Chains A and B, each alone.
Chain A
Amino acid sequence: MALRSRRRRATTALLPVVLTGALALAACSSGGSSATQGQSSAGKTLVIDTSFDLKTADPGRTYEPTGLVVDKATYDTLLTFEGADVTKPVPSLAESYEMSSDGKELTLKLRKDATFADGTPVTADDVLFSLTRVRDMKGTPSFLLDGVEVAKTDDSTITLTSKAPNPALPYILPNPALGILNSKVAKENGATENADDKAEQYLNSASAGSGPYTLESFNVSSQVVLKKNDKYWGAKKPVYDKVVIRNVESATQKLNVQRGDSQVALNLSGDQVAGMGGGLQVKRTTSAYVFFLLANQDPGVSKITSNPKFVEALRKGVDYTGLLELAGEGSTQAAGIIPSMFLGALPADQATQRDVEGAKAALKESGVANPTVKLEYPSELTVNGLSFQPLAERIQANLKEIGITVELTPAPVTTALDNYRNGKEELGLWYWGPDFPDPSNYLSFLPGKLVGLRAGWKAGADKELEAAGEKAAASVTDEDRKQAYTDVQTKLNASGPFIPLIQPGQNIVTAGSVTGLEYHPVWTINVADLGAK
Chain B
Amino acid sequence: MRRRLTGGPAGGRTGGRTGGLTRRLPEAWRQPLAIVGGVVAFAWIVIALAAPVLAPHDPLAQELPRLAPPGPGHWFGTDQLGRDILSRVLYGARVSIPLTLLLVVLSVLIGGLLGACAGYFGRWVDETIMRLADLVFAFPTIILAMVVAAALGASLGNAVIAVLIVAWPAYARVTRGLVLGIREREFVLSGRLLGFSAWRSLRVDVLPNVTGPVLVLATLDIGTALLLLSGLSFLGLGAKPPSPEWGAMVASGVEVFDSWWVATFPGLAILTVVLAFNFLGDTLRDALDPRTARAIKERAI
Query: B240's contact among A3, A251, A269, A409, by CB below 8 Å, is which?
Result: A409
User: In angstroms, how far is the closest chain B Cβ from the Cβ of A268?
Assistant: 10
Residues from chain B with Cβ under 8 Å of A325 in the complex: 66
Q: Which of B224-258 contact A (CB under 8 A)?
A: 236, 240-242, 252, 255-258
Tell me if A392 is interfacial: C-beta within 8 Å of chain B: yes
Query: B66's contact among A3, A326, A379, A397, by CB below 8 Å, is which?
Result: A326
Write 9 A-B pairs (CB below 8 A) sorted by A numbering: A251-B257, A322-B62, A380-B236, A389-B252, A393-B241, A396-B242, A397-B60, A408-B242, A412-B236
Query: B258's contact among A272, A322, A408, A410, by CB below 8 Å, is which?
Result: A272
Residues from chain A with Cβ under 8 Å of B280 in the complex: none
Given contacts A272-B258, A326-B81, contact A394 B240 (CB under 8 A): no
Given contacts A3-B298, A271-B80, A326-B81, contact A389 B241 (CB under 8 A): yes
Interface of A is mostly: helix
User: In angstroms, how far is the closest chain B Cβ from the Cβ of A376?
Assistant: 12
- Count A interface residues, CB 8 Å: 28
Q: A271-B256, A397-B242 are in contact. List 8 more A-B contacts (CB 8 A).
A: A272-B258, A380-B236, A390-B252, A393-B62, A394-B81, A407-B240, A409-B154, A412-B236
Query: B259's contact among A2, A271, A326, A394, by CB below 8 Å, is which?
Result: A271
Cα distance, A453 to B80, chains bound together (Å):
34
Tell me if A300 is interfacial: C-beta within 8 Å of chain B: no
Tell me if B172 is interfacial: C-beta within 8 Å of chain A: no
Cα distance, A408 to B242, chains bound together (Å):
8
Q: Which of A377-405 contact B (CB under 8 A)?
A: 379-380, 382, 387, 389-390, 392-394, 396-397
Residues from chain A with Cβ under 8 Å of B295 in the complex: 2-3
Cα distance, A410 to B154, chains bound together (Å):
8
User: In angstroms, how far is the closest chain A Cβ from the Cβ of B151?
Assistant: 12
Tell me if B284 is interfacial: C-beta within 8 Å of chain A: no
Cα distance, A396 to B83, chains bound together (Å):
14
**What is the chain B residue whose CB lies nearest that of A252?**
B257
User: In angstroms, how far is the closest chain B Cβ from the Cβ of A393?
Assistant: 5
User: In angstroms, how far is the closest chain B Cβ from the Cβ of A137?
Assistant: 36
Please report the number of residue pairs spanning A and B whose Cβ atoms sit closer than 8 angstroms.
56
Cα distance, A88 to B154, chains bound together (Å):
47
User: In angstroms, how far is the closest chain B Cβ from the Cβ of A282?
Assistant: 15
Interface of B with A (CB < 8 Å)?
Answer: 60, 62, 66-67, 80-81, 154, 236, 240-242, 252, 255-259, 292, 294-295, 298-299
**What is the chain A residue whose CB lies nearest that of B63?**
A397
Q: Which of A267-302 contact B (CB under 8 A)?
A: 269, 271-272, 275
Residues from chain A with Cβ under 8 Å of B81 in the complex: 326, 390, 393-394, 397
**What is the chain A residue whose CB lies nearest that of B62?**
A397
Cα distance, A506 to B52, chains bound together (Å):
41
User: In angstroms, how far is the closest chain A Cβ from the Cβ of B241?
Assistant: 5
Cα distance, A393 to B257, chains bound together (Å):
19
Mark interface residues in A325-339 (1 if CB within 8 Å of B CB, else 0).
110000000000000
Cα distance, A2 to B80, chains bound together (Å):
51
Given contacts A3-B298, A390-B81, A394-B62, contact A271 B240 (CB under 8 A): no
Residues from chain B with Cβ under 8 Å of A408 in the complex: 240-242
**What is the chain A residue whose CB lies nearest that of B299?**
A3
Query: A2's contact among B240, B256, B258, B292, by CB below 8 Å, is which?
Result: B292
